[in-house]
């Protein structure tokens, strides 16, 4: 799949009928919003960058591994991104700023392709995934937040045999989530959920009216 096909799929996704997107593991996005509301939590906007770079005639998705000492999601795999600041022009600006801060990307080299449905996390963030493309860049990781930046072939993420449903126990209940292990990396939780939505968008066949 090339970048033009990716752009076409994302544009076409706006026209879908009856297909829920952005499902979040064991809860839908709507259920998660209701869950936070019931607990009196304010859901805060955030943006992440699903950055694709082309190497050896294939698209790769850029991911990061968070440092082990962070309070939230220490050591986990994530997209570059974070919460929206007051000074950000929009959520796309948030994703670009956060990516520059976390892994040193040059925003002037990045072309925006589109956005995916929002994803609500258990930590009360409403994340907008911003899909973009760039020529290969050198990653300079913020040593406080990011232990490593790496790439996963898009073809690997599109192949369903690489995906699985895992679970854990929380408050006496079994919770399920998407996972897509890659070599020694274990991609799960919100990152895997957004990647699963991305996969769904790219593989969806639009039916004729």
Q: For residue 172, list its beta bridge partners.
A: none
CA distance 28 to 52: 26
Query: Hey, what are 71's tokens?
Result: 């309070």
Digit-coded pLDDT (tens) for 160-196: 999 998 877 766 777 778 899 999 999 998 899 899 9
In which band, very low, low, confident or very high, does the pLDDT at 71 lie, cut at 50, 70 and 90? low
DSSP 8-state code for residue 145:
T
Q: Are the CB atoms for 60 and 152 separated by under 8 Å?
A: yes
Digit-coded pLDDT (tens) for 18-66: 444 445 456 677 777 788 888 888 889 999 999 999 998 899 999 999 8
> 123 by DSSP, 3-state: which?
coil
What is the mean pLDDT of the segment spanning 97-101?
Answer: 97
> Structural domains in the chain?
3-203 (3.90.79.10)
Please name the helix (run of DSSP H) or strand (run of DSSP E) that holds residue 47, with its range, or none.
Answer: strand 44-55
Whether the predicted pLDDT of 140 surpasses 60:
yes
CA distance 88 to 86: 6
Whether the predicted pLDDT of 209 surpasses 70:
no
Mean pLDDT estimate for the chain: 86
Please tell me the predicted confidence (pLDDT) of residue 73: 54
Please enumerate in sequence order all residues whose Cβ is within 8 A of that of 65, keeping only pairs 6 or more positions apart, or say none. 75, 76, 77, 78, 146, 147, 148, 149, 150, 185
């Amino acid at each position: 799949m090339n970048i033009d096909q990716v752009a076409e799929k994302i544009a076409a996704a706006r026209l879908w009928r009856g297909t829920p997107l952005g499902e979040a593991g064991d809860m839908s996005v709507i259920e998660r919003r209701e869950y936070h509301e019931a607990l009196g939590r304010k859901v805060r906007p955030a943006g992440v960058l699903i950055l694709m770079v082309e190497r050896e005639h294939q698209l790769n998705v850029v991911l990061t591994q968070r440092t082990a000492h962070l309070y939230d999601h220490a050591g986990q795999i994530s997209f570059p991104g974070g919460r929206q600041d007051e000074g950000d022009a929009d959520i796309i600006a948030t994703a670009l700023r956060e990516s520059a801060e976390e892994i040193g990307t040059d925003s002037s080299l990045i072309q925006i392709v589109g956005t995916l449905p929002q994803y609500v996390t258990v930590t009360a963030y409403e994340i907008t995934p911003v899909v973009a493309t760039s020529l290969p860049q050198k990653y300079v990781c913020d040593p406080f937040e990011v232990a490593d930046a790496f790439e996963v072939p898009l073809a690997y993420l599109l192949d369903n045999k690489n995906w699985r449903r895992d679970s854990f126990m929380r408050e006496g209940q079994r919770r399920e989530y998407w996972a897509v292990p890659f070599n020694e990396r274990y991609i799960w939780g919100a990152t895997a959920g957004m990647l699963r939505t991305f996969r769904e968008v790219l593989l969806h066949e639009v039916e004729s009216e």
